[in-house]
Amino acid sequence: MKRRSFLASAGVGLAASTVVAAPALAQSQPEIKWRMASSYPKSLDTIFGGAELIARRVAAATDNKFQIRTFAAGEIVPALQVLDAVQNGTVECGQSAAYFYIGKDPTFCFDTAMPFGLNTRQHISWMMHGGGLELMRELFREHNIYNIPAGNTTAQMGGWFRKEIKTVEDLSGLKMRVGGLAGQIMGKLGLVPQQIGGGDIYPALERGTIDAAEFVGPYDDEKLGFHKVAKYYYSPGWWEGSAQIPLMINITAWEQLPESYKTILEQACWEANTWMIAKYDAVNAAALKRLVAGGAQLRAFPRDVMMACEKIANELYDELSAKNPRFKKVYEAWKPFRDEERLWFRVAENSFDSYIYSQSAQRR
Residue 310, annotated as binding a ligand? no
CA angle 287, 177, 158 (to 5 degrees): 45
Question: Within 10 A of 3 (CB to CB), how many other CB atoms are there?
Answer: 7
The reply, when asked if residue 259 is annotated as ligand binding, is no
240 marked ligand binding residue: yes
177 in a known ligand binding site:
yes
Longest dimension (CA), the chain: 93
As a whole number of angstroms, the distance between CA 49 and CA 35 comes to 15
Q: Who's near 220: CB < 8 A, 6+ residues apart? A: 44, 46, 47, 153, 198
Q: What is the DSSP string of 23-83?
A: HHHHHHSPPEEEEEEESS-TT-TTHHHHHHHHHHHHHHHTTTSEEEEEE-TTTSS-GGGHH
156 in a known ligand binding site: yes
> Could you tell me which residues are beta bridge partners of residue 213?
160, 177
Binding site members for Na(+):
215
Binding site members for substrate:
156, 177, 214, 240
Binding site members:
156, 177, 214-215, 240
